[in-house]
Structure 1
């Protein structure tokens, strides 16, 4: 992990430090995801904060690994003040001392306990889930009941019909951990997960990393069942695809998008204020409606039509299964090598 982050840091920092210093001093930089998330922030969230505070914000797009790399490269002279990062890489950022302690505020106090991060150096911004996905038309045509359990992946009738991401993808990683937990193990005892995945792999059509290809396989029915993320499935449903996300009865693994104020960065107080702003019910509603992230602020109220396939409300939040990335991250490289030898051969 450290080697790859260091390499990316050098590449990312080269471009980022090209920003004129005078401009940087007058501006607060926020790093986060690209794509639709970037659009939502630029169009719906940042303008509100700028109008409210008079602070100019520049959004720096990149995936979580890129953002951690930038923060590490800038550690001695931070320019980014706020960072949005997925839970796994955020654990690394916190371990590297890149995130400042969060000041409790009017909205963070209303965040669900399992969206709080140990050490108070980051906090959840939105819930996602790793669970099951299926093509409703294929299931109806074959007279199959809707899947409801992680155990359904073991059913021989799905041979050659299953799609799921590999371990290099967060959904695939969490799928492995869930199989370990289902079979008496955990992150700390991953062997039962590998044993289960070796059997399930016999029915897997493709271990596919590209979201577009997974969407294509599910939409056409070439793959009719699989493991994927709630946000990905929600986006596919919005395009009219005959698919549905399932929260398995044993529980779905939580995917938490997190946010932190950067340690030692400029605009420290404004960064803390921006984090609170993102946690407000108003902004949580925007993020939920546009990105499908389940609100972490329990005061956020959504209409039923906006909550399909989303982690929403106390009951669903309580049913989510959180994993320990402080155990997972140090083992990730070894697990990947083992996955390549034993599962995806």
Structure 2
């Protein structure tokens, strides 16, 4: 691993907002379900005296929930959530400055100047292409976003819905940033003619392609790698124009009723054991100390991952998020 730079699932049990016990915290996350389960298990091993309740929601759904609960937040820590959403001023206002132990291991460009958040992990866009469907339908192997415009791919492409999926939004935002907005929207409208479905989750397009329902699922690299490891007949394709990407951040809620243990959990997120877990699961890790797994390389992920990543402007993505999503919903949502 080069040091750079989804539906709700409930793990643990919520307590009423007024009930507080020492040694118990609630964490909100948008890590994928299997990632979240692995990371949480590691945290519980290292922090056995803290009961960690966790709510997992897709990026967009978690954003909506946090805004809806802003008058009375129900959690102590936001963990592994898209930086593009974290830098929303309404969210930043809910966060308390905190410098966790080990923060010096995270390069300054991957943390907030006011210490309200830091990013340890990230993910990037990739296509999951079903080799058997390509052969059966005499389709060429796509290597770029432009290839998906070919008439042969009509009805053969699925993408995440950017209004609910962080992966979907980074795909749209990266296309607009790479091409410029005018050309970018023209491209997306042309691509829409070949899209069979916009799916709520970032991982499900890959799963649908892996199952042979469609030829191409626009998803993210780790889902492609996992599905290849599970034996699905797919190829991971990183688009030649570059892979849009997102960083995943962690922060302390001002409203936390158990800041002592919330801070211990955040400190753990930068511990050696936590970082070792990240390297097992994430294609982008901002903290040094691990090695890219062999199966990542075998699936086609370059060891110099920075060479394929779009240089994302996260502030632009955040500032323009509502406008971009409104435009997408008006023009393309079904």
TM-score range, shorter chain: 0.7 to 0.9
| 203 and 110 in structure 1: CA distance in 2 versus 1, 3 angstrom threshold | same
Larger Rg: 1
What is the correspondence of 1:223-238 to structure 2 with a 5 Å cutoff? 223-238=214-229
| 248 and 214 in structure 1: CA distance in 2 versus 1, 3 angstrom threshold | closer
Aligned to 1:218: 209
Aligned to 1:305: 295
Contact 2:125 2:220 in 1 (8 A): yes
Aligned to 2:4: none
Aligned to 2:332: 343
Q: 23, 28, 46: which one pairs with 1:31? A: 28
Gaps spanning 5+ residues in structure 2: where? 1-12
- Distance in 1, Cα, partners of 2:234 & 2:16: 45
Contact 2:39 2:277 in 1 (8 A): no
Aligned to 2:10: none
Aligned to 2:71: 73
- Distance in 1, Cα, partners of 2:197 & 2:191: 12
Query: Does 2:53 correspond to 1:62?
Result: no
| 149 and 332 in structure 1: CA distance in 2 versus 1, 3 angstrom threshold | same
1:290-317 Cα distance to aligned partner (Å, 9 max, x none): x44532212223442355569786x314
Q: 163, 166, 169: which one pairs with 1:170? A: 166
Greater RCO, CA 8 A, separation 6+ = 2
| 71 and 199 in structure 1: CA distance in 2 versus 1, 3 angstrom threshold | same
Aligned to 1:4: none
Aligned to 2:242: 251
Contact 1:218 1:225 in 2 (8 A): yes
Q: 32, 41, 45: which one pairs with 2:43? A: 45
- Distance in 1, Cα, partners of 2:254 & 2:310: 29
Aligned to 2:185: 194
Contact 1:67 1:83 in 2 (8 A): no
Alignment RMSD: 3.4
Aligned to 1:91: 87
- Distance in 1, Cα, partners of 2:253 & 2:75: 9
Contact 2:161 2:201 in 1 (8 A): no
Aligned to 2:119: 124
1:207-263 Cα distance to aligned partner (Å, 9 max, x none): 222567634531243421242122332343343221232222332111222111223
Aligned to 2:271: 280
Secondary structure, in 3 states, of the residue corresponding to 2:95? coil
Contact 1:135 1:224 in 2 (8 A): yes
- Distance in 2, Cα, partners of 1:237 & 1:135: 10
Query: Does 2:202 correspond to 1:205?
Result: no
- Distance in 2, Cα, partners of 1:274 & 1:180: 37
| Displacement of 1:128 | 0.8
| 94 and 232 in structure 1: CA distance in 2 versus 1, 3 angstrom threshold | farther
